[in-house]
C-alpha cells in the first residue's frame, strides 16, 4: 500500500456490535490514528452539564451540535490522509473512505452492553435506567431511531441503509477475534486492489 494515497476507514454500526472495539483494533494493527466521534458528543454533553439522553434531546432541536461534529469530520479528511474514524456520518462526509458497518441482533447487543456495564460501570452519563438487559435493549433501539431521524432531518441521509457501506458484517454469532479477522481481511483486499 502506498503512503501517498488516501486510506481512511470509517466505521458505523448498531450499539453492541463491537464497532468501537474493532475500530480500535484495526487502528492499532495498521498503526493509524483513531477518531471516535461519540466521545466528542459525550464531551459536549459534559461541558453542558447534561446526561447524554438529555443532550441528545437538545441536539434534536439544535442542529449546531451535530454540525460541529460533522464539520470536524470534513476538516479531518482534508487535513489527514490516513486514519480510522468511528462516526454515524463519516461514511457520508468522507465518501472515499472504506465504509464498514457492523450490526448485531438487539437482544445480543443488550446482553453484551449489560455485561460491559457490570464489568466496567462506565456508561454513567447515559440512560440512567439501564438496570436490566430489557432496559438496555429498549434504550439502544430508541437511541438508534432518534439518531437516524435526526440525521435524516439534517442531511436527508439514512445511516442504517446498508447500501451506503462497502462492507457489512452481522457480528451476532462471532467473537471479537473472528470479527477483527473478517474486517481486517476485507480492508486488506480493498487496499491491495
Q: If you compute the radius of gyration of the chain from its CA atoms, what whole number of angstroms results?
A: 16
Full-prediction pTM beyond 0.85?
yes
Specify if 23 maps to a domain. Answer: yes
| Per-residue pLDDT tens listing for the chain (193 residues) | 444 588 999 999 999 999 999 999 999 999 999 999 888 888 888 898 988 778 888 888 888 888 888 999 999 999 999 999 999 999 999 999 999 999 999 999 888 888 887 777 654 445 556 678 888 888 888 888 888 888 999 999 999 999 999 999 999 999 999 999 999 999 999 988 7
On the CB side of 144, CA atoms within 13 Å amount to: 20
Specify if 76 maps to a domain. Answer: yes
Specify if 46 maps to a domain. Answer: yes
What CATH number should be reported for the domain holding residue 19? 3.40.50.300
Specify if 2 maps to a domain. Answer: no
Specify if 139 maps to a domain. Answer: yes
Distances from the Cα of 68 to the Cα of 72, 74, 183, angstroms: 6, 10, 29
For 11, list phi and psi in degrees, rounded to 5: -115, 135
Domain count of the fold of the chain: 1
Full domain range(s) for residue 117? 7-192
For 13, list phi and psi in degrees, rounded to 5: 160, 175
Specify if 167 maps to a domain. Answer: yes
Q: What is the pLDDT of residues 125-180, one digit of tens each?
A: 455 566 788 888 888 888 888 888 889 999 999 999 999 999 999 999 999 999 99
The CA angle 97-11-83, to the nearest 5 degrees, is: 55
Specify if 1 maps to a domain. Answer: no
Amino acid at each position: 500500500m502506498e503512503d501517498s494515497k488516501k486510506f481512511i476507514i470509517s466505521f458505523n454500526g448498531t450499539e453492541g456490535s463491537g464497532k468501537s472495539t474493532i475500530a480500535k483494533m484495526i487502528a492499532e494493527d495498521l498503526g493509524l490514528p483513531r477518531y471516535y466521534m461519540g466521545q466528542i458528543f459525550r464531551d459536549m454533553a459534559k461541558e453542558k452539564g447534561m446526561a447524554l439522553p438529555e443532550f441528545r434531546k437538545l441536539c434534536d432541536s439544535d442542529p449546531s451540535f451535530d454540525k460541529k461534529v460533522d464539520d470536524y469530520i470534513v476538516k479531518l479528511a482534508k487535513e489527514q490522509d490516513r486514519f480510522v474514524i468511528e462516526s454515524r456520518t463519516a461514511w457520508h462526509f468522507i465518501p472515499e473512505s472504506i465504509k464498514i458497518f457492523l450490526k448485531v441482533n438487539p437482544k445480543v447487543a443488550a446482553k453484551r452492553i449489560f455485561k460491559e456495564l457490570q464489568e466496567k460501570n462506565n456508561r454513567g452519563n447515559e440512560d440512567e435506567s439501564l438496570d436490566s438487559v430489557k432496559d438496555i435493549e429498549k434504550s439502544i433501539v430508541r437511541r438508534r431511531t432518534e439518531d437516524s431521524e435526526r440525521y435524516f432531518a439534517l442531511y436527508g441521509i439514512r445511516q442504517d441503509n446498508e447500501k451506503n457501506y462497502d462492507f457489512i458484517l452481522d457480528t451476532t454469532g462471532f467473537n471479537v477475534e473472528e470479527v477483527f479477522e473478517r474486517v481486517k481481511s476485507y480492508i486488506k483486499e480493498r487496499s491491495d486492489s
